[in-house]
Amino acid sequence: MARDEFFRDVRRAVSFMAPRVEADSPFTDASYIEKMLRGADLWLTPKVVEAFRPEDYADVGERNREDLSRAVSDFMAVARTVLRETPAKPEQRDAALEPFKRIIQTVQSLVHEDWIRASTALLADAEVWAKEEGWPTKRFSKDITEDFIGKYRQDRLIFAAEGAQLALVPVGRYAPGTEGMFDLAVLPAYDSVMVIRQAGRWFVHPLSSEDRQQDWSKDAFVTTSLKLARLP
C-alpha cells in the first residue's frame, strides 16, 4: 500500500535528521529526534514524500487530511530545489524543516492510532475466546517506549489453561519484519510463539518446525495456548 510505503519513508527519513522537534502530542518522542545528527541532509529529498497519495487518507478527518496534504506540498516545493550531490543550503533546510515536522507528527499520530486500535482488538479477541473456554483472565497495563511513536500504554492479558498460566504480551509496533508483534507465552518459563501483524492481518507463528503459520482465529489461539500449557 502507498500509505504504508509513505509511513516507512517518513520514519526512515527521521533517522537521517537532527532538528529539534517540539512534541505537540503525548506519543511524539521529541528526544529521539533531537539525538539525530543535524548536519545530515538525507531527509531533504522528494523521495521522502513521493509515495503520498491524498486518496489513501479518506478515513482521516478532513482537517488533518488537508494539513498533511499542505505539509507534503510545502516540503516537496523546497526539496525539489536541492540539487543532487550538493549539500542543502541553510535556508533550504530551514524552509523544509517546518512542513517536515508537521508531516512527522501527523504520521506518528496515524501510526499510533492504527497500532492501538489493532492491538486492542487482538487483546479483545483473545480475552473473549479465553472466557468462552472457561479460562480465567486478567489484564495488566504495560508501558512501552518505541522509536518514532514514543511512549504509550497497552494491556497484557494473563489467563490460565489446564493449570498453566499464560500471557499475551505486546512487544511493539516496530518489531523487525512486522507491522506489530505480541508474544503468546507460558509462564514463568516464557516459552512462547510470536503473534505478528503483516499487511493489516494477524498471524500465529508455529510452535515447532512441524507446524505452519496460522491466521489469527479462535482455533489458532486455543490450540497454540494448549500446546504451550502442555509443554514439559
Are 65 and 169 within one domain?
Answer: no
Are 34 and 10 within one domain?
Answer: yes
Are 103 and 164 within one domain?
Answer: no
Reported as a single tens digit per residue, the pLDDT across 182-204 is 999 999 998 999 999 999 999 99
Query: Residue 214: which domain range?
Result: 116-229
pLDDT of residue 207: 82
Are 26 and 66 within one domain?
Answer: yes
Are 62 and 134 within one domain?
Answer: no
User: Domain boundary residue among 61, 94, 114?
Assistant: 114
pLDDT of residue 35: 44
pTM recorded for the entire structure: 0.85
Cell digits for 108?
506518528
pLDDT of residue 138: 98
pLDDT band for position 34 (50/70/90)? very low
User: Domain boundary residue among 114, 135, 157?
Assistant: 114
Are 78 and 161 within one domain?
Answer: no
Total domain count for the chain?
2
Are 83 and 124 within one domain?
Answer: no
Reported as a single tens digit per residue, the pLDDT across 119-175 is 999 999 999 999 999 999 999 999 999 988 889 999 999 999 999 999 999 999 998
pLDDT of residue 29: 52
Q: Classify each residue of 201-226 as buried b or exposed e, where b means 16 or more C-beta atoms within 10 Å of its C-beta.
A: ebbbbebeeeeeebebeeebbbebbe
pLDDT band for position 40 (50/70/90)? low
pLDDT of residue 17: 66
